[in-house]
Structure 1
């Protein structure tokens, strides 16, 4: 997905993104620490982009031994095709990507709605979709986190 070499070495330019993904997975893993392994967790990744949260799927099924069904929703057809190819190549049978905008996506029967750096109002729309679906977890990280962090820092000075 453009973060690492074939040998698994993270590119220098991708270090920050790699750290963000790992932190996000760490947060979600903590939330799911007591999740029953006999229950199938259903996750909707809103604005999934290049599918960086495939790492979450892999972590849940390989490390946590959870049964997982995860659907990524992304508007760009070429990215959806690429992500589905990666899922197929790695035999991630519970992972798929669909070409849809968040606004046009109907989400129901999900346990978790996630959005990592969805742009503009996409994070807000992901939250709304999670609420409408009655999702147990809604975990989002807006793309403007640096701006928010900067504003919070100035308020605390």
Structure 2
């Protein structure tokens, strides 16, 4: 699973995402409010003549909305739907030749269902997550 990874921060935790899942990283300038949606749905925005559902990754992970002004979204297509996933910070995109390490120890339980491995970047561990898994888990939890 060596390849190109985006390194970012979500809910104060360092993460890595395989760029195969990513269409773009954009600065979200304007969000349109949507009534009666779960708290992790930040709103809707337009990107190159298409509508994106914008999800707050921190709210997906923690289940709570905070007032941190997240301005960068990772754009992805999951099951035929376009999403923008808000992150705290985008750090870098880096090629990694090594395989991810397994998750060891006891990570915070909220991360255990999302972390597929650990990659080192700038001598710091980053949870390897899948945007598809993140979004699909939120939809499953919402349906339950």
TM-score by length of 2: 0.26
**Between structures 1 and 2, the one with greater strand share:** 2
* Structure 1 length-normalised TM: 0.24
Computing the radius of gyration from Cα coordinates, the structure with the larger value is 1
Higher helix fraction: Structure 1 or Structure 2?
Answer: 1
- Taking CA–CA contacts closer than 8 Å with sequence separation of 6 or more, which of the two structures ends up with the larger relative contact order? 2
